[in-house]
Chains A and B, each alone.
Chain A
Amino acid sequence: DAGVIQSPRHEVTEMGQEVTLRCKPISGHNSLFWYRQTMMRGLELLIYFNNNVPIDDSGMPEDRFSAKMPNASFSTLKIQPSEPRDSAVYFCASSLGPRQGGGNQPQHFGDGTRLSIL
Chain B
Amino acid sequence: GQSLEQPSEVTAVEGAIVQINCTYQTSGFYGLSWYQQHDGGAPTFLSYNALDGLEETGRFSSFLSRSDSYGYLLLQELQMKDSASYFCAGTAGNKLTFGGGTRVLVKP
**Interface of chain A, main secondary structure:** strand
Say which size band chain B's interface belongs to.
Answer: 20 to 34
Alpha-carbon separation in the docked complex, A48 to B94 (Å) = 9
- Does A98 make an interface contact (CB < 8 A)? yes
Does A91 lie within 8 Å of B42, measured CB to CB? Answer: yes
Does B94 lie within 8 Å of A55, measured CB to CB? Answer: yes
Does B42 lie within 8 Å of A104, measured CB to CB? Answer: no
Does A45 lie within 8 Å of B45, measured CB to CB? Answer: no
Does B42 lie within 8 Å of A45, measured CB to CB? Answer: no
Say which size band chain A's interface belongs to.
Answer: 20 to 34
- Does B50 make an interface contact (CB < 8 A)? yes
Against B, the Cβ 8 Å flags (1 = close, 0 = not) of A85-113 are: 00000010101011100111011111110
Chain B positions 90-105 with a Cβ under 8 Å from a chain A Cβ? 91, 93-101
Chain B positions 10-45 with a Cβ under 8 Å from a chain A Cβ? 30-31, 33, 41-45
With contacts A102-B93, A103-B91 taken as known, whether A108 is within 8 angstroms of B45 at the C-beta atoms is yes
Which of A33, A42, A103 makes the CB contact (< 8 A) with B101? A42
Instruction: Tell me the minimal C-beta distance from A58 to chain B in angstroms.
Output: 9
Where the two chains meet, the residues of A that have a C-beta atom closer than 8 Å to any C-beta of B are 31, 33, 42-45, 48, 50, 55-56, 91, 93, 95, 97-99, 102-104, 106-112
